[in-house]
Amino acid sequence: MGNCKKQDRKRPELDINEISKRIKFESKQIQKTFGDIEELLKKSQRLMQRLLTNRNNRMVNGNTFFNVAEAPAAAPIVPIPPQTPEALLQITDFQRILLINISEQLERLQTLRAALRAILVSGAATISEISEEAPVQALIFAEILAEDLSVAQREIQEVRNNLRNLVLTLAGTFVI
Amino acid sequence: MGNCKKHHDGDLDIRDLIKLLESENNQIESSFEGIEELLRRNEKLAEQLLGIRTKRGKY
Distances (CA, A) of A60 to A19, A71, A145: 60, 16, 55
- SS3 category, A77: coil
Output DSSP code: residue A6: G
pLDDT of the residue at A174: 83
Residue B58 lies in a domain: no
Residue B31 within any structural domain of the chain? yes
**Quick check: A52 and B45 CB within 8 A?**
yes
Domains contained in chain B, number: 1
A174 or A147, greater pLDDT: A147
What mean pLDDT is reported for chain A?
A: 83
Neighbours of A169 (CB within 10 A): 15
> Helices (H) and strands (E) in chain A — how many of each?
5, 0
* Residue A34 C-alpha, separation from nearest chain B C-alpha, in angstroms: 6
- Interface size between A and B, measured as CB pairs under 8 A: 137
Q: What one-letter code names the amino acid at A144?
A: I
Instruction: Work out the end-to-end distance of chain A between its first and last CA atoms, rounded to an integer number of angstroms.
Output: 46
In this predicted structure, what is the pLDDT of residue A68?
A: 42
Note down the domain range covering B19: 12-50
The mean pLDDT of A24-53, rounded to a whole number, is: 96
B1 occurs within a structural domain: no
Answer yes or no: pTM beyond 0.80. no
> Which region among A55-59, A101-105, A117-121, A147-151 has the lowest average model confidence (pLDDT)?
A55-59
Per-residue pLDDT, A9 = 46
- The predicted pLDDT at position A98 comes to 97
Q: In chain A, what percentage of residues exceed pLDDT 90?
A: 66
Choose the mutation target among B1, B32, B50, B53 for the interface with A, i.e. most A CBs under 10 Å. Answer: B32
pLDDT digits (tens, 9 = 90+) for B4-49: 444 444 457 899 999 999 999 999 999 999 899 999 999 999 999 9
| Short-list A46, A166, A37, A107, CA closest to B45 | A46
Whether B4 sits inside 8 A of A127 (CB atoms) is no
pLDDT digits (tens, 9 = 90+) for A62-118: 554 444 444 445 545 545 554 555 544 568 999 999 999 999 999 999 999 999 999
Q: Looking at this predicted complex, what is its ipTM? A: 0.74
Q: Where are the domains of chain A?
A: 16-54+91-172
Nearest C-alpha in B relative to A123:
B21
Quickly state the pLDDT bin for A61 (edges 50, 70, 90).
Answer: low
Q: How far apart are CA A126 and CA B26, in angstroms?
A: 18
* pLDDT value at residue B52: 65
Instruction: Report CB contact under 8 Å: B46, A106.
Output: yes
Look at residue B4 and tell me if it is in a domain. no
